[in-house]
Structure 1
Amino acid sequence: MTDQQIISDWFHQYSDDVYHFFIFRIGSTDVEDLVQEVFIRAIKGIDSFQGNSQPKTWLFTIARNVAIDELRKRSRNKWKNYFFSEENHDVIVEQTPDQLFQINEETMKLYQAIQSLKENYREVVILRGIKELSEKETSLILNWSESKVRSTYHRAKKVLLKELQSELGGEYSER
């Protein structure tokens, strides 16, 4: 199989997982370009894939780096727009109904609570809790030890549960 065929197969297997990772990590639904960027980088870097991990783990590592780059870019643009806007210096974030999730209120609260977590908690919750990657896979993606993944995930779940219980008036329980 050629490198392009391998990446094409991986795209069909893992693009939805990468897409969902970006939705939770970036916080918007317009992430198709970022998914494409992951697989473009994968094609360019296929020679560096040594097979020591699963392809999914390698692709999530690339996705994490793409997400970091995108958040930095958005942060720079936010400040640039703020300081150089000709209007009243408000940063406007537009959301259309198509971009809003069609999910129930509890799920939206969970999403908002995840977004409010500090970055390393958010990443480990997305990878371990939402994408259900193993401790080993998560440690490879985040470049952490497995024990750090375990302890950070445990702390993140406690903070998340506390946040959800206060948001929902104590009616949220760990599932």
Structure 2
Amino acid sequence: MSHNETISDWFEKYGNDIYHFLIYKVGPTDAEDLLQEVFIKALKGFKRFKRNSSPKTWLFSIARNVAIDEARKRKSRKWSNTVPLDKTYEPSTDLSPEAILDFNEDTQEIYQCIQKLKANYQDVLILRGIKELSIQESAKILKWSENKVKTTHYRAKIALNEELRRCAYEESESPRAAR
């Protein structure tokens, strides 16, 4: 099997998972472009792929790095324009039906709360809680020890619960909720 065929096969197997990971990291408007970038990087770096990890964890590592790079670009654009970026998700009219379904109200609320957490908490919540990767897979992707994955995941769940409660409280106190 050629490199192209292998990467194409991996895209079929893992593309959806990588796409959803990227949605949680960067939002739905950039996720498709970044998904393509992940698989282009995988194709270019295929010779460097060490078979001591699964293709899935390798691809998630690439996706995580691509998302980090995107966050850096956004941050530099933010400072160069001196206009704060709006971190809330605004639905786009050009989203696919699947993306619209994926972003129902509950998912959007969780997404927004996850975005308010520290980057390490975001990573571990998405990998362990949403993508349901094992501790070992998450540790390889994040380049952490398994104990750090466990501890950070535990702390991230507590932080997310607190953020969800805060969001629910703010929503119940807003003028719209009184109508």
TM-score by length of 2: 0.83
Would you tell me which structure has more helix in proportion to its own residues?
Answer: 2
Instruction: Answer yes or no: is the 8 Å Cα contact 1:113–1:160 preserved in 2.
Output: yes
Aligned to 1:118: 118
Q: For the residues of structure 2 that align with 1:148 and 1:65, how far apart are their CA atoms?
A: 19
Instruction: Answer yes or no: is the 8 Å Cα contact 2:127–2:133 preserved in 1.
Output: yes
Matched, 1:128 2:131: no
Write out per-residue CA displacement over residues 101-160 of structure 1, whole angstroms, 9 at most, x where no aligned residue.
554433322111111110100100000000100000000000000000000000000111
Instruction: Answer yes or no: is the 8 Å Cα contact 1:27–1:115 preserved in 2.
Output: no
Aligned to 2:44: 44
Matched, 1:144 2:144: yes
Matched, 1:27 2:34: no
Q: For the residues of structure 1 that align with 2:30 and 2:78, how far apart are their CA atoms?
A: 17
Name structure 1 gaps, 5 residues minimum. 83-88, 170-175
How many pairs were matched up? 163
Aligned to 2:69: 69
Instruction: Answer yes or no: is the 8 Å Cα contact 2:78–2:84 preserved in 1.
Output: no
Instruction: Answer yes or no: is the 8 Å Cα contact 1:25–1:67 preserved in 2.
Output: yes
Instruction: Answer yes or no: is the 8 Å Cα contact 2:29–2:92 preserved in 1.
Output: no
Aligned to 1:167: 167
Q: For the residues of structure 2 that align with 1:36 and 1:60, how far apart are their CA atoms?
A: 13
Aligned to 1:173: none
Aligned to 2:176: none
Write out per-residue CA displacement over residues 39-82 of structure 1, whole angstroms, 9 at most, x where no aligned residue.
11111111111211110100000001111111111111122122
Give the direction of change, closer, same or farther, for the CA distance of 1:121–1:5 in structure 2 (3 Å limit).
same
Shift of 1:92: 6.9
Matched, 1:79 2:83: no
Q: For the residues of structure 1 that align with 2:121 and 2:85, how far apart are their CA atoms?
A: 27
Farther-moved stretch of structure 1 (21-30 vs 116-125): 21-30
Q: For the residues of structure 2 that align with 1:42 and 1:31, how far apart are their CA atoms?
A: 16
Q: For the residues of structure 1 that align with 2:46 and 2:4, how far apart are their CA atoms?
A: 9
TM-score by length of 1: 0.85
**Secondary structure at 2:47's aligned position in 1?**
helix
Name structure 2 gaps, 5 residues minimum. 170-179
Aligned to 1:85: none
Which residue identity does 1:105 align to in structure 2?
E
Q: For the residues of structure 1 that align with 2:85 and 2:134, how far apart are their CA atoms?
A: 39
**Secondary structure at 1:168's aligned position in 2?**
helix
Q: For the residues of structure 2 that align with 1:141 and 1:151, how far apart are their CA atoms?
A: 16
